[in-house]
């Protein structure tokens, strides 16, 4: 049995004082959660958030990281910097990074290897654009993105990563993949993992992301392949995020 994992992706939202208020409201609301609960926040919020979540069941995540240990990479953050800031998870290869910041499958792979080496749990994002789905490329594309991202990891390491299937056309648009569409594509991703890493495929947790909210989370989470959610917009309000965390209520 895979433990479900619900992670918030705050993106470029919440100053440290706003972050403190949001996560303070969240702590009591999710204290009884049966799933793993993560908030991925801007790096400037790490200190405020980690102080509030100390001793609670909420874990801290980052939204990106560089693959080098240190050096002349102005504006970037290393795995060691994240670790020392209390970060345990890191989103890698989010479609917004791919679309606006030149992220490629090859750099997602470098980041994944560096994150795992440092003891961080990557949340690796894959997913197709609208035109790719319409052209019938979804399965080939998510298979390719997944296998490139994981390349160089052992099966044991793969078993512990988190993958987020996020159809690009569903992110921030209010359009959600149907429960069946999401389940089917996540099943394709799991079989891609199985083709190279065998039984690790049964352990790896694969989330759905893309306009997941208090209304649609129950149906999505009832699907057998879907192990959690990566939540953007609905993670910015404590009540909404808490309702997603309690998807089975
Ligand atoms: P959304 O974002 O829930 O606002 O669609 C999800 C994501 O980008 O991770």
What pLDDT does residue 182 have?
Answer: 97
Residue 178: other Cβ atoms inside 10 A = 12
Task: Report d(CA 26, CA 28) in Å as an integer.
Answer: 6
Return the axis-axis angle of helices 46-53 and 16-30, rounded to nearest 10°. Answer: 20
Any residues with CB less than 8 A from the CB of 154 and at least 6 apart, and which?
none
User: Is 156 an annotated catalytic residue?
Assistant: no
Distance of CA 26 to the CA centre of its chain: 19
To test the pocket of ligand 1, the residue of 89, 207, 233 to mutate (highest count of ligand atoms within 8 Å of its CB) is 233
The separation between the first and the last C-alpha atoms of the chain, rounded to the nearest angstrom, is 19
> What is the distance in A from the centroid of ligand 1 to the CA of 236?
11
Are the C-beta atoms of residues 239 and 230 closer than 8 Å to each other? no
- Walking along the chain (249 residues) 10 residues at a time, the average pLDDT comes out as 97 98 98 98 98 98 98 98 98 98 98 98 98 96 98 98 97 91 98 98 98 97 98 98 96
Task: Report d(CA 240, CA 112) in Å as an integer.
Answer: 30
| pTM to 2 decimal places | 0.98
Tokens of 196: 């190279």
- Pocket of ligand 1 from Cβ distances under 6 Å: 9, 166, 171-172, 209-212, 230-234
User: Is 94 an annotated catalytic residue?
Assistant: yes
């Amino acid at each position: 049995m895979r433990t479900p994992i619900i992670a918030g992706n705050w993106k470029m939202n919440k100053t440290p004082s706003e972050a403190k208020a949001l996560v303070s409201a969240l702590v009591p609301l999710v204290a009884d959660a049966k799933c793993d609960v993560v908030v991925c926040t801007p790096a400037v919020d790490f200190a405020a958030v980690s102080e509030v979540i100390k001793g609670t069941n909420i874990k801290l995540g980052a939204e990106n990281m560089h693959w080098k240990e240190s050096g002349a990479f102005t504006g970037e953050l290393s795995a060691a910097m994240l670790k020392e800031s209390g970060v345990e998870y890191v989103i890698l290869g989010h479609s917004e990074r791919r679309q606006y910041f030149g992220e490629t499958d090859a750099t997602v792979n470098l980041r994944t290897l560096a994150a795992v080496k440092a003891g961080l749990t990557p949340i690796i994002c894959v997913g197709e654009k609208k035109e790719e789905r319409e052209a019938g490329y979804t399965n080939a594309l998510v298979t390719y993105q997944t296998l490139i991202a994981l390349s160089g990891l052992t099966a044991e390491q793969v078993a512990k990563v988190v993958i987020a299937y996020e159809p690009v056309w569903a992110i921030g648009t209010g359009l959600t993949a149907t429960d069946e569409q999401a389940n089917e594509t996540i099943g394709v991703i799991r079989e891609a993992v199985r083709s190279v890493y065998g039984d690790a495929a049964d352990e790896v947790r694969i989330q759905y992301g893309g306009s997941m909210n208090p209304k649609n989370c129950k149906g999505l989470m009832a699907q057998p392949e879907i192990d959690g959610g990566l939540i953007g917009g609905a993670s910015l309000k404590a009540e909404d995020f808490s309702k997603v965390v309690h998807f089975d209520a």
